[in-house]
A and B are shown apart, each in its own frame.
Chain A
């Protein structure tokens, strides 16, 4: 009997708490517009708060001396330099993939620069600026029997890691190709090395890095299907910072900033065989 009371009371408290969260969430959007200019706020604070990865080389990682490095960090430094006049005026907030949206929603950071792919679901929750990188499904194959087009895959075995965009892409668009699925990416790579499939499909950026470390393999089919874009994200409704970012990204694009950043950070990991244009977007989508 006593237990039941407790349970009821507990449920009541929980419902109240959840209701409180639900109702106030709808107001948080407009309360944003009342606050003073978001750019002035950053200038007043004197540091740009950027969410970055700390363990995803070569995009965002911490090197052996404890310094943040990577493609995302190069952009972050430049943004801080152009906004605040000093590239060291950054507060790096280390993030995990699943926390990126919440960091913006709860105002913990100004910008997310963490290999953040633009998707319709995410666009409902945060605002994306112009892209600075693109990813697509790629196919890696042995140099002895390179796969250069989808047609060549007919009647062959293609390795895919489960739950990736590569898996969905082939199931939807080329159901006639035989797929060999693995739970983990490392397993899938091992399978390819062992010859348990003729080729392997995965996000191309990942394949570039792997093919570079594994001579004898190359990404002969670098892009397939839909291009996905990677872009900086700001809090929903923060149009001032968003517009500033877009003009900034376009200006950086004109000076080929992202090709330089590519040479500096991604090229050593991807190798000489990859063309920067397969990966880099110069501040806006070229139609």
Chain B
């Protein structure tokens, strides 16, 4: 009984299709992560400003992405925006926009937190040494803040990879959707197929996310000493 399900995995191009689905998942997640990191660091530095006019708009931006579920953002940008403004966006582009904006918001908060948590004397000493603002960030603040922000950033990246599962809702075929397609076609003949397919998807996600979280733990331990 159990074996009949696993044969489905290797039937036709099923195996290849699952890997292709995984590739799509990773492509969107990784492009979004790169954009998020660049945008997040810039916004994070801007947000250390004490000016209320600078703080409030970015704060609203961050809260919008924290409070409203990503699924709702995907729906709004994919279905509602084109219907009302005549903008034609592919599902992949919508995915990249939403994930990059979300990632940038979260990373900006991580970076801001890391910079603010640095002892005040770091800023004062740099000024006393005669460093300009750019030099102060480049040589003093950012190197130290990076250490503090990389573990939470890796955490966020694994979350982003896992959240791509939502993309099926806007017609983007990623690894989980491919799995469901295979399961529903073979369900009657092989009742255990869902166990094998979901098990395999679990294994794929594990292969990607576990090394990442191990890496972040290693870094944490290394920098703690």
Contact = CB atoms under 8 A, between A and B. Distances in A.
Interface of A: 5-6, 9-10, 13, 20-21, 24-25, 28, 31, 54-57, 61-66, 93-96, 99, 102-103, 105-108, 209, 213
Contacts of B75: 102
Interface in B48-65: 56, 59-60, 63-64
Contacts of B85: 24
A28 B84 contact: yes
Report, nearest first, the 4 A-B pairs whose CB atoms are least far apart: A64-B12, A55-B184, A102-B79, A106-B83
Given A99-B169, A106-B79, A106-B83, A62 B188 contact: no
B11 A10 contact: no
Given A6-B60, A96-B168, A96-B169, A24 B84 contact: yes
A61 B11 CA distance: 16
A63 B185 contact: yes
Contacts of B78: 106, 108
Contact of A6 (B13, B63, B84, B177): B63
Given A6-B56, A213-B188, A66 B82 contact: no
B14 interface: yes
A109 B63 CA distance: 33
B11 A57 contact: no
Interface of B: 8, 11-14, 17, 56, 59-60, 63-64, 67, 75, 78-80, 82-86, 88, 168-171, 173, 177, 180-186, 188
A20 B80 CA distance: 11
A21 B60 contact: no
Contacts of B79: 99, 102-103, 105-106, 108
Contact of A61 (B56, B59, B173, B185): B185
A141 B163 CA distance: 43
Given A57-B185, A106-B83, A10 B63 contact: yes
Nearest to A209: B188
Nearest to B168: A96
A207 B79 CA distance: 34
B13 A57 contact: no
A6 B173 contact: no
Given A13-B60, A55-B177, A63-B12, 20 more contacts: A6-B60, A10-B63, A21-B80, A24-B84, A24-B85, A61-B184, A61-B185, A63-B185, A64-B13, A64-B14, A66-B12, A66-B13, A93-B171, A96-B169, A99-B171, A106-B80, A106-B83, A107-B88, A108-B78, A213-B188
Contacts of B170: 99
A209 B177 CA distance: 23
B68 to A, nearest CB: 9
Contacts of A209: 188
B17 A66 contact: yes
7 contacts: A5-B56, A6-B60, A54-B181, A63-B185, A99-B171, A106-B78, A107-B83
Q: Which of A5, A25, A63, A93 has the most CB of B within 10 A?
A: A63
B93 to A, nearest CB: 13
A70 to B, nearest CB: 10
A71 to B, nearest CB: 14
A14 to B, nearest CB: 9
A65 B13 contact: yes
B84 A20 contact: yes
B83 A9 contact: no
